[in-house]
C-alpha cells in the first residue's frame, strides 16, 4: 500500500508493452532535441532568447520516464522514478521530525517549495542504469537482502550479527539512548519504514539503500542552502522569502545544522564504510568551498592573518602553535611566478576547485556512492564519479552565466549578485585574461564605487559569457562520455537528455 492506494503490476505482456511505449516516448523527446545523435543543442534554442528552456522539460521527462495513468494505480515498472520523485519531500519529512514544532517548520521550509531536485534525480536514474549491469559483473561487494528485493543474490546470506545486513530503518544504538528519553513508545523519525515496493524493485533494481541515498543527498544540499542564504544575505529562494528572512538567521543556521545531523544518522544506517566516507566528506567539502569563496581567488590581496567579510577587513588571531595544523596537498597554492598568464591560470584553477567543492562534490560523490552500493566494478564506479563531477561543474558554470543574464523572478533567487558579493567567476576571469588591469578589481573584490559596472562591461566587451558557455559545453561533453560505460537503457537516455539540457536552462 502506498498512500492508501493499491499497487498493481500487470502481466509480463503488459510490462513488455509498457516498456516499449516508454522507450518510444523517450526516443521521440530525445530525437526532438537531438540529445542522442548530436551533442549540440539546436541552434534555434541557443539563439532564441525567448525560447523556453529545455531543462525543466528534461527534468520532468526524466522523473516520469512513463507517467502512471493515475495516482491510484502503479501498473508500469518505470514509474518508480516518478513515484520516488513525487514523494521525495514527504519521504524526507519522515526523516527530519524533531520534538520541537518550530524546528520542524524551519527544517522542512525549503522542501515545501518547488525545487529542481536534480541531485536525487541523478542518483535514482543512475541507480536505474546500474541495475542493467548483469549481477555477475556487479560483484565488487556482496549485495544483501536489504539491498535487493526478490532478486538473485551473491552466495551467502548476512547473519543476524552482520551490521551490513540490517535494514536502513533499524537503529544501531538503542533509541532511548539516541533520543535521551525513555517513554512508553519511542517514535523515531529515522525508523519509519520506507515504501515497500518489492514488485518495482524486482523489475527495476533500484536498491532501498540507493533510494535512501537520494533522500540524504537532498537533505545535505538543502542544509547548505539554509547556510548559504545566511552567509550571502539572500532574501529570496525558490521564488519566496529565504529561510533567514522568514525565520531569522539563527533559526536558519540551526535548522541547517539539524538537517546535517539527521542526514548523518541516515548515512550511518547505510552501513557501508566507503559510502559513509564519501558522503561525510561532501559535508566537509561544502564548508571548505565556502571558505575558498570568502577569499575569492588565490590572488586575493589579503594576507593569512586578515580576512575580508561583508566589505569589512578583519584581523584574525594568529596561531599559537599548540595545535599544529597543516594544509593538505589537494589545494590550490599561489603561483611562484607573477606574470599575467600564470596568474590567470591559477585563478581559473582556484575557481574550478571552489566550484567542485561547493557544487560538484555532492553530485560526484553521491554518484560514486550509488555505484558502490550497486556492487559495480571499479571502472564503472570511477566513470560514475567522473560523470557527477563533470555534470556538477557544468551545472555551476551555467549558474554563473545565469547570474549575469537572468532576472530575479526567472532565477528564483537574486541575480547579478556575484560581482556585488565580490565573487570572481568564469565570465570575469575570461575578461581579465584579455584585460590585465581588471586584476586590481578582482583582488579588492569589486569593493570600490564603479567596480561592478566596469567588470560587467568588460565581460560584455571580451565575450566572457560566450567563452564561459564553451567551457560548460566541454564539461557537458565529458559527462556524456562517462555515461557510455553504462548499458543502453531509457534511464541512460534520460540522463543524456538531462545533461544536454543543462546548457539551455534559465533557472
| pLDDT of residue 171 exceeding 60 | yes
Longest dimension (CA), the chain: 73
% of the chain with per-residue pLDDT over 90: 37
Decide: pTM greater than 0.85.
no
Confidence of residue 59 (pLDDT cuts 50, 70, 90): low
Confidence of residue 304 (pLDDT cuts 50, 70, 90): low
- Domain assignment of residue 326, yes or no: no
Residue 440 grid cell: 586590481
Confidence of residue 254 (pLDDT cuts 50, 70, 90): very high
Least confident of 118-122, 199-203, 406-410: 199-203
- Report d(CA 348, CA 473) in Å as an integer: 16
Q: What is the mean pLDDT of residues 182-190?
A: 49
79 and 5 in contact (C-beta within 8 Å)? no
- Domain assignment of residue 321, yes or no: no
Tens of pLDDT, residue by residue over 451-465, are 999 999 999 999 999
364 and 419 in contact (C-beta within 8 Å)? no
- Report d(CA 370, CA 88) in Å as an integer: 17
Least confident of 179-188, 261-270, 305-314: 179-188
Which residue segment(s) compose the domain that 185 sits in?
A: 12-316+331-504
Q: What is the mean pLDDT of residues 458-481?
A: 96
C-alpha of 96 from chain center = 19
- Domain assignment of residue 104, yes or no: yes
- Domain assignment of residue 323, yes or no: no
Counting the structural domains of the chain, the total is 1
- Domain assignment of residue 4, yes or no: no
- Report d(CA 282, CA 260) in Å as an integer: 11
Q: What is the mean pLDDT of residues 375-397?
A: 95
- Domain assignment of residue 2, yes or no: no
Which helix (H) or strand (E) element contains residue 312?
Answer: strand 312-315
- Domain assignment of residue 38, yes or no: yes
User: Residue 118: CB partners within 8 Å, gap ≥ 6?
Assistant: 59, 395, 498
Give the per-residue pLDDT at 397.
97
User: Residue 273: CB partners within 8 Å, gap ≥ 6?
Assistant: none
Give the per-residue pLDDT at 207.
82
Which helix (H) or strand (E) element contains residue 307?
Answer: strand 306-309
C-alpha of 217 from chain center = 7
Residues 393-428 as b/e (b if ≥16 CB within 10 A, e otherwise) read bbbbbbbbbbbbebeeeebbbbbbebbebbbbbbbb
CATH assignment of the domain containing 162:
1.10.600.10
- Going by their DSSP bridges, the two strands 236-237 and 312-315 should be labelled as unpaired
Q: Which among 415, 505, 469, 465 has a CA at the least distance from the CA of 52?
A: 505
Give the per-residue pLDDT at 214.
93
More confident residue, 452 or 185: 452
Confidence of residue 416 (pLDDT cuts 50, 70, 90): low
More confident residue, 362 or 338: 362
Q: Which among 484, 502, 505 has a CA at the least distance from the CA of 493?
A: 484
- Domain assignment of residue 7, yes or no: no
- Report d(CA 327, CA 261) in Å as an integer: 26
Amino acid at each position: 500500500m502506498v498512500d492508501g492506494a493499491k499497487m498493481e503490476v500487470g502481466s509480463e505482456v503488459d510490462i513488455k508493452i509498457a516498456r516499449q511505449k516508454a522507450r518510444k516516448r523517450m526516443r521521440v523527446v530525445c530525437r526532438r532535441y537531438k540529445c542522442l545523435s548530436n551533442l549540440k543543442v539546436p541552434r534555434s534554442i541557443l539563439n532564441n532568447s525567448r525560447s523556453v528552456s529545455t531543462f525543466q522539460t528534461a527534468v520532468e521527462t526524466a522523473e516520469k520516464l512513463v507517467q502512471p495513468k493515475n495516482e491510484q494505480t502503479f501498473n508500469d515498472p518505470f514509474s518508480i522514478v516518478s513515484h520516488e520523485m513525487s514523494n521525495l519531500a514527504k519521504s524526507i519529512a519522515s526523516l527530519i521530525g524533531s520534538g520541537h514544532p518550530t524546528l520542524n517548520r524551519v527544517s522542512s521550509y525549503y522542501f515545501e517549495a518547488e525545487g529542481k531536485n536534480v541531485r536525487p534525480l541523478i542518483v535514482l536514474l543512475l541507480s536505474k542504469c546500474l541495475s542493467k549491469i548483469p549481477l555477475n559483473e556487479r560483484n565488487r561487494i556482496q549485495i544483501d537482502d536489504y539491498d535487493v528485493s526478490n532478486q538473485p543474490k551473491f552466495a551467502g546470506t548476512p547473519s543476524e550479527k552482520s551490521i551490513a545486513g540490517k535494514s536502513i530503518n533499524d537503529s544501531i544504538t538503542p533509541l532511548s539512548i539516541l533520543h535521551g528519553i525513555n517513554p512508553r513508545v519511542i517514535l523515531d523519525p529515522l525508523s519509519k519504514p520506507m515504501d515497500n515496493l518489492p514488485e518495482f524493485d524486482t523489475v527495476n533494481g533500484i536498491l532501498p539503500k540507493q533510494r535512501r541515498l537520494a533522500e540524504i543527498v537532498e537533505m545535505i544540499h538543502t542544509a547548505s542552502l539554509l547556510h548559504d542564504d545566511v552567509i550571502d544575505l539572500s532574501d529570496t529562494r525558490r521564488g519566496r522569502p529565504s529561510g533567514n528572512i522568514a525565520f531569522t538567521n539563527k533559526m536558519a543556521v540551526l535548522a541547517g545544522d539539524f538537517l546535517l545531523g539527521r542526514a548523518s544518522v541516515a548515512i550511518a544506517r547505510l552501513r557501508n564504510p566507503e559510502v559513509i566516507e564519501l558522503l561525510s566528506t561532501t559535508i566537509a567539502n561544502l564548508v571548505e568551498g565556502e571558505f575558498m569563496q570568502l577569499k575569492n581567488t588565490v590572488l586575493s590581496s589579503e594576507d593569512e592573518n586578515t580576512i575580508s567579510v561583508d566589505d569589512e577587513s578583519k584581523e584574525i588571531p594568529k596561531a599559537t602553535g599548540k595545535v599544529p595544523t597543516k594544509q593538505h596537498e589537494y589545494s590550490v597554492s599561489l603561483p611562484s611566478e607573477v606574470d599575467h598568464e600564470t596568474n590567470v591560470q591559477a585563478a581559473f584553477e582556484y575557481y574550478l576547485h571552489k566550484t567542485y567543492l561547493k557544487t560538484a562534490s555532492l553530485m560526484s560523490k553521491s554518484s560514486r556512492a550509488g555505484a558502490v552500493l550497486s556492487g559495480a566494478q571499479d571502472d564503472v564506479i570511477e566513470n560514475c564519479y567522473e560523470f557527477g563531477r563533470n555534470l556538477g561543474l557544468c551545472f555551476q558554470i551555467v549558474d554563473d552565466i545565469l547570474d549575469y543574464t537572468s532576472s530575479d523572478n526567472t532565477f528564483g533567487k537574486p541575480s547579478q549578485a556575484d560581482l556585488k558579493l565580490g565573487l570572481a567567476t568564469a565570465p570575469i576571469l575570461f575578461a581579465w585574461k584579455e584585460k590585465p588591469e581588471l586584476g586590481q578589481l578582482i583582488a579588492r573584490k569589486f569593493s570600490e564605487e564603479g567596480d561592478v559596472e566596469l567588470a560587467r562591461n568588460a565581460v560584455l566587451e571580451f565575450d566572457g559569457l560566450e567563452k564561459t558557455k564553451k567551457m560548460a559545453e566541454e564539461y557537458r561533453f565529458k559527462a556524456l562520455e562517462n555515461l557510455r560505460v553504462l548499458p543502453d537503457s531509457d534511464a541512460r537516455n534520460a540522463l543524456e537528455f538531462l545533461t544536454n539540457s543543462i546548457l539551455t536552462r534559465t533557472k
